[in-house]
Structure 1
C-alpha cells in the first residue's frame, strides 16, 4: 500500500508544480504555492490514492473517492463548483478574479501534464461555454475576456 500512496504523492507534487508554473506566469505566487493543499488531507489523500493507484476496485473505494472529490471541490476556491448556490437553478456567486485565473491555470496544467499545448480558445470552447459548468454571468464574461486576451 505504501507504493500506492507514494505514486499518488508524486502525482500531486507534479500537478502542483505544473500549476505553480502557470500561476507564476499570471503573478499568482501564493495561489500557485498553496494550490490543492487539501489533497494532502486525510479526507482526500487516501481515497484518491486508492482510486487511481491501487488495483483494488470496489464500491467502498469509489464511494470514498466521491466524498473526497466533493470535499475537494467544496474546500478549494479555484473550483467553479465551490461558488454554486443552487445547482438546479444554475445560480452561482461571482468568483474573485484570482481564483478564476487559478482555475484556468489548473486547466492548463492538465494539458501540460499530458504533453499537449493548451490554446486558450480551446478552453473557452470546452470549459467556459460548456453547459456542464455553472458560472455567475459576470464570472463567465470575465473568464471569456481573460482567455481571449491571452
Structure 2
C-alpha cells in the first residue's frame, strides 16, 4: 500500500531530522519539523505519487506541471529556502523580480539537518557524507538562496564532507546554536551579553 509506505518514509525522515536537530541543540524545531506533511493536502498527494527513491513532489510536478503538496508545504516550513522568497525591494533590478531573503541562522541549520536526513532516507546504505553537498551543488534551488544563507549552508555541507557528521554537529551546537540561545536570552537579561559574548550574526 503506497499510503503506508509513504507514511513510513515521512515518519522515518521526521525522526531522523529530529535526531539531527537534537544533536545540534534545536529541540523545538526538531519536534515541529515537517508536521504539515501529515495534513490531508500534503499526505494525500504524497501517497498518490509515492516513489520510494525520490520525493513524490517530483512525480506530481511532472504529472501536473505543479505540485499542490509542495506549494502547501513550503509556505508553512521556515527551513525551506522557498519560504523566504519575496519580491525584490531593489526596483532598479529589473532582472530579478523575486529574490531569496536572508534566512535566520536557526533555519539554515534546520535546512542542513533536513538535507542530510533526506539523503540518508532515500539512499539508505548508499549514503556517503559528501552526498548532501553533491546534491546541493547539482540542484537548481540554490540559485534562489540569499548569498549569505548559501555561504552558511555550504560551510556546513563542506564541513560534513571533509570532517564528518560528529564533528559538524558538535561544531554547530557549540559555535552556532549556543551563541544563538545566549543572544535570545540577552534580550530579556541584557547583562548576559557582558558575561557570555555571543558573537556576530552571519
Band of TM-score, shorter chain: 0.7 to 0.9
The answer to whether the aligner puts 1:132 opposite 2:141 as a matched pair is yes
Shift of 1:142: 2.4
The reply to whether residue 13 of structure 1 matches residue 11 of structure 2 is yes
The separation in 2 between residues aligned to 1:91 and 1:66, in whole angstroms, is 21
Q: Whole-Å Cα distance in 1 between the matches of residues 71 and 115 of structure 2?
A: 18
Partner of 1:144: 154
CA distance in 2, matches of 1:41, 1:64: 22
Residue 35 of structure 1 corresponds to which residue in structure 2?
A: 33
CA distance in 1, matches of 2:107, 2:129: 19
1:56 corresponding residue in structure 2: none
Residue 86 of structure 1 and its aligned partner are, at CA, apart by 4.3
Structure 2: how far apart are the matches of 1:8 and 1:18? 15
Contact 2:84 2:101 in 1 (8 A): yes
Larger Rg: 2
Question: How far apart are 1:148 and its partner, in Å?
Answer: 4.3
SS of 1:52's equivalent in the other structure is coil
Contact 2:119 2:132 in 1 (8 A): no
Which residue number corresponds to residue 118 of structure 1? 129
Alpha-carbon distance change, 65 to 34 in structure 1, aligned in 2, over 3 angstroms: farther
1:99 to 95, 100, 107: 107
Normalising to structure 2: TM-score of the pair? 0.60
Mapping of 1:50-65 within 5 angstroms?
Answer: 50-52=48-50, 62-63=63-64
CA shift, 1:128, in A, is: 5.7
> Structure 1: which 4+ aligned runs deviate by more than 6 Å?
none
Q: Which runs of 5+ in 2 are unaligned?
A: 52-59, 89-94, 160-167, 169-202
Give the TM-score normalised by structure 1: 0.78
CA distance in 2, matches of 1:41, 1:25: 27
Residues 54-78 of structure 1: CA deviation (Å, up to 9, x unaligned): xxxxx8xx44981111111121111
Return 63-72 or 123-132, whichever deviates more.
Answer: 123-132
Relative contact order, higher structure (CA 8 A, sep 6+): 1
Equivalences, count: 141
Where in structure 1 are there 5+ consecutive unaligned residues?
A: 54-58
